[in-house]
A and B are shown apart, each in its own frame.
Chain A
Amino acid sequence: MEKLLNDFSPGLFVVQTLLLLLLIFIMVKFAWKPILNSLNEREEGIQGALDAAEKAKREMENLQADNQKLLQEARLERETMLKEAREIKSQMIADAEEEAKNQANSIIEKAQLAIESEKKSAMAELKNHVAGLSIDIAEKVVRQELSNKDKQLELVESMLNEAKLN
């Protein structure tokens, strides 16, 4: 203990105190204050940038979600539109078919009617023609064979009436 006290130099203590005071003063003024201020500024800057990035990221996410929603809606709309179009198409085809069928039926009906009447007139004409021809033939045949022309004609007429009844 005595040796320790002997080693303690009051002069060195005084010199060290003065130097340390001076050092603290200079360091605080010229080093620590500007360093700590700049560090704080920088840290605040970094924090601000991080916050801004986070915010931008969140906004981006929101935008993306909106986009997704829009896309989904568009897809749904497209699908309904397609469905409708398909329905309209099949409806149209069905309608056209129906109309065509009706038209065809009426045409066929008319045609049948026309054919019938044509057939009738043709038959009548044919009958007349055949009658004329038969008369001519019969006249020629009978002229040579029959003298009584009126009798012959009467016979043919009756025969033709029989044929018509068939």
Chain B
Amino acid sequence: MKIFQQSFKFLVIVCVLLLPTVSFANSSSEGDGQISTKKEVEDYILHHIQDSHDFSLFSYTSDSGERKHVGFPLPVIVWGSNGLTTFMSSAFHHNDDGSVVVEKNGSKFVKIHSKIYELDAGETTVNYDEDLHATNAHKVLDFSITKSVVGVLFIGLLMIFWFSSLAKQYKKKAIPTGFGRVLEPLVIYVRDEIARPNIGDKHYRKFTGYLLTVFFFIWILNLLGLTPFGFNVTGQLAVTACLAIFTLIIYTASGTKDYWMHMLWMPDAPWWIRPVLAVIELAGAFIIKPFSLLVRLFANISAGHIVVMSLIAIMFTLKDTLGVAGATGLSFILSFFITLIEVLVAFLQAYIFTMLSALFIGMAVAEHDHDHAHDEHGQEIPDAEDVRGDFI
């Protein structure tokens, strides 16, 4: 009960913090109108899939015909030719095609398709070639607190809050109460169903912390992506790449001698085949495994977002053929069921990512016995380790 009161307080604080920022409602410099055509829907969806420099909740057209955006700006932190520059994203006035130039710290910045470019010295406007690539501007290193970073920070704080209060509960009682009772089985699930069986009883404890963090991080962010706030954190290549590289570093750093032996100079194989195997194994460990992790998560979550938004867009695109009620109903039914599936996918992708990470770590720390059991034909009977390796 106390936990619920606390989380309620937490929610109230967050709301209060958000309230004043809503009044930052900006009117954009040009009226990018409502979305109704297929092309606009497509652009809108692709825009959503990308990271964004401001947090917009919704936009509307005011009585005077002006397009208003409600939300709040986020800080832009870029490393350009004149060093670190910071300003608020409201300076761009929601412009996304590079026509608003922000001059700060002796550099001129524009935003094109959610990316920040710095104009080359002496230029005042952006020129494009026929592929709509900027010809006189270059990208800058962008450390901005983007919407994804806000999502990561929010989920990070939420996780720290939830789980440290669960940890505190154990000091007083053996069985947690309130929200901790929901979290505890999930922790036990990750430990007993993901970490322990894949890594093995001997080593699993060391890696459980990482696996738990990653599991809840991905899962909650996936779920956050299904809310109308429109986060798409786990659909950002940079985020999934970061997660995959963490797993790569962990299993590479904890690899045993056996692991490296099997990778570089496969025992039990003819000598001339060993270098070939080494190349394949190295490619598997350093390219295929991390790529399978990062692309799977990125693609599944992005695809989920695109499908849900496309189904919502049926409301506009089929309005003429089905009528307003028909299109809305169809859109609602389809997107409702897809969203249900997406809730499952949110869990599934977190599970798969954590599971595969545990599996890769388990393969790296496994202790091979070199006298494998041989059957009567002198062939090696594959043990569970080898069989599992074949499926990856």
Contact = CB atoms under 8 A, between A and B. Distances in A.
Interface string A79-91: 0000000000000
B258 interface: no
A14 interface: yes
Nearest to B237: A8
B140 to A, nearest CB: 8
Nearest to A19: B152
A10 B141 contact: yes
A6 B170 contact: no
A35 B191 CA distance: 11
A37 to B, nearest CB: 8
A27 B243 contact: no
A14 B143 contact: yes
A6 B149 contact: no
B205 A16 contact: no
B230 interface: no
A31 B164 contact: yes
B279 interface: no
Interface stretch (A38-46, A63-71, A156-164): A38-46
Contacts of A33: 209
Interface string A21-63: 0111011101111111011001001000000000000000000
A15 interface: yes
B182 interface: no
Nearest to B163: A31
B152 A16 contact: yes
A17 interface: yes
Given A7-B50, A11-B141, A27-B209, A19 B170 contact: no
A63 B348 CA distance: 54
A28 B78 CA distance: 31
Given A19-B156, A20-B242, A32 B142 contact: no
Contacts of B242: 13, 16-17, 20
A32 B246 CA distance: 18
B160 A27 contact: yes
Contacts of A12: 51, 142, 146, 148-149, 236, 238-239
Contacts of B208: 32, 36
Contacts of B175: 42
Q: Is the interface of A mostly helix, strand, loop or mixed?
A: helix
A4 interface: yes
A147 interface: no
A15 B238 CA distance: 10
A24 B143 contact: no
A148 interface: no
B212 interface: yes
A9 interface: yes
A27 B213 contact: yes
Contacts of B115: 6, 9
Given A16-B152, A30-B167, A23 B213 contact: yes
A106 B205 CA distance: 106
A15 B151 CA distance: 12
Interface string B109-132: 000000100000000000000000
Interface in A72-111: none
A27 B159 contact: yes
25 contacts: A9-B51, A9-B236, A9-B238, A12-B146, A12-B148, A12-B149, A12-B236, A14-B141, A15-B145, A16-B149, A17-B242, A17-B246, A20-B246, A23-B159, A24-B210, A27-B160, A28-B209, A30-B163, A30-B164, A31-B160, A31-B163, A31-B164, A32-B209, A34-B168, A39-B184
9 cross-chain pairs, A with B, having the tightest CB-CB distances, nearest first: A31-B163, A38-B170, A11-B142, A28-B209, A13-B238, A34-B167, A12-B238, A32-B209, A16-B242
